[in-house]
């Protein structure tokens, strides 16, 4: 009986951990491991028990990928190594994203480094040619520890995202509707810090109960910004004002240095006024870049 129980326990433990290497991923930073990551994710997503997808030490090349739910139980995405994007931005094609979690509830993303290699992409964008991590319609998402480096949004939350917790993350050279907490993290030389952005268009959407606290800004542009008049190039924004309702946003203990003259900018909609905004213990002086 003891022997049978031991075998059962060992089998159960193995089944709760899906290592991407076991699905064919190569830690050399050159071999495309996208299919292997998807295989590990799909196996974990089908599991009736709480499971872990493990990315071991090493460098893993990942092309644009969607980790899609809903899944049957809680998933931990444990990263010990580095996930890198293709060195040539054209390898991302026209997807508009690099790593995307869709309709995923109860997920913890922990540790590791994500390197989107965004320099070549933005060199292309600046030349006006047609040339980031995101969550959409997801809930119960936790991102904890590790480093994220992109050329644009380090963490982007699109419509339908709720109950999001982000902590102890280093965000390099990048930028970020309901119950979202960002805490105990460091922003380093990014274009924007904590940011709520809405298109200047009619909308019935909302952003509420958002907390930004215990954050360090290290030479960051626009450390704190709310922009409800976002309308790049002036196209498709006839009203120049957002219909999104923003309420219950807290900024607390945000410190560091800003590379822009205005460290905190709250530009709310004229038609849908911001409500219940609060800020405490703020200290972000401007420095020369």
Task: Count the helix, strand and coil residues of the chain and give each as a percent rounded to the nearest 5.
Answer: 15, 45, 40
From 155, 148, 219, select the one nearest 182 (Cα to Cα). Answer: 155
Mind spelling out the 3-state secondary structure of 242-266? CCCEEEEEEEEEEEEEECCCCCEEE
DSSP reduced 3-state for 120: helix
Count of CB atoms situated within 10 Å of the CB of 29: 16
Q: How far apart are the first and last CA of the chain?
A: 69
178 is known as an active-site residue: yes
Count of CB atoms situated within 10 Å of the CB of 91: 14
DSSP reduced 3-state for 92: helix
Q: Give me the catalytic one of 178, 227, 267, 273.
A: 178
Residues contacting 153, CB < 8 A, separation 6+:
132, 133, 134, 174, 175, 176
273 is known as an active-site residue: no
Q: What is the dihedral of CA 238, 242, 243, 247, to 10 degrees?
A: -170
Q: Give me the catalytic one of 28, 32, 115, 152.
A: 152
- CA–CA dist 209, 247 (Å, integer): 7
Question: Is the Cβ–Cβ distance between 57 and 80 less than 8 Å?
Answer: yes
Q: Which tokens in the block code for residue 8?
A: 């059962």
Across-strand partners of 76? 52, 108
Q: Which tokens in the block code for residue 32?
A: 């495309």
Across-strand partners of 17? 52
Catalytic positions, written as ranges: 152, 178
């Amino acid at each position: 009986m003891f022997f049978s129980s031991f075998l059962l326990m060992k089998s159960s433990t193995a089944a709760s951990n899906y290592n991407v290497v076991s699905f064919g991923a190569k830690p050399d930073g050159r071999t495309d491991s996208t299919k292997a990551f998807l295989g590990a994710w799909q196996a974990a997503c089908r599991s009736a028990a709480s499971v872990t997808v493990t990315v071991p030490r090493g460098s893993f090349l990942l092309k644009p990928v969607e980790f899609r739910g809903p899944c049957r139980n809680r998933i931990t995405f444990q990263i010990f190594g580095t996930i890198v994007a293709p060195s040539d931005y054209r390898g991302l094609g026209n997807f508009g994203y690099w790593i995307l979690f869709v309709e995923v509830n109860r997920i913890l993303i922990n540790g590791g480094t994500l390197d989107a290699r965004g320099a070549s992409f933005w060199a292309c964008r600046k030349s006006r040619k047609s040339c980031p991590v995101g969550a959409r319609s997801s809930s119960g998402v936790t991102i904890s520890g590790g480093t994220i480096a992109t050329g644009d949004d380090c963490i982007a939350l699109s419509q339908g995202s709720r109950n999001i917790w982000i902590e102890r993350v280093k965000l390099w050279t990048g930028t970020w509707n309901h119950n979202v907490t960002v805490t105990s993290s460091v922003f380093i030389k990014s274009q924007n810090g904590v940011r709520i952005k809405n298109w200047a268009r009619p909308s019935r959407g909302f952003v509420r109960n958002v907390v930004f606290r215990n954050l360090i800004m290290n030479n960051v542009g626009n450390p704190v910004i709310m922009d409800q008049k976002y309308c790049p190039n002036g196209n498709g924004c006839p009203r120049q004002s957002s219909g999104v309702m923003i309420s219950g946003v807290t900024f607390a203990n945000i410190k560091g240095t800003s590379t822009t003259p205005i460290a905190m900018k709250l530009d709310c909609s004229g038609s849908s006024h911001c409500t219940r905004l609060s800020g405490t213990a703020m200290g972000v002086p401007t420095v020369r870049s």
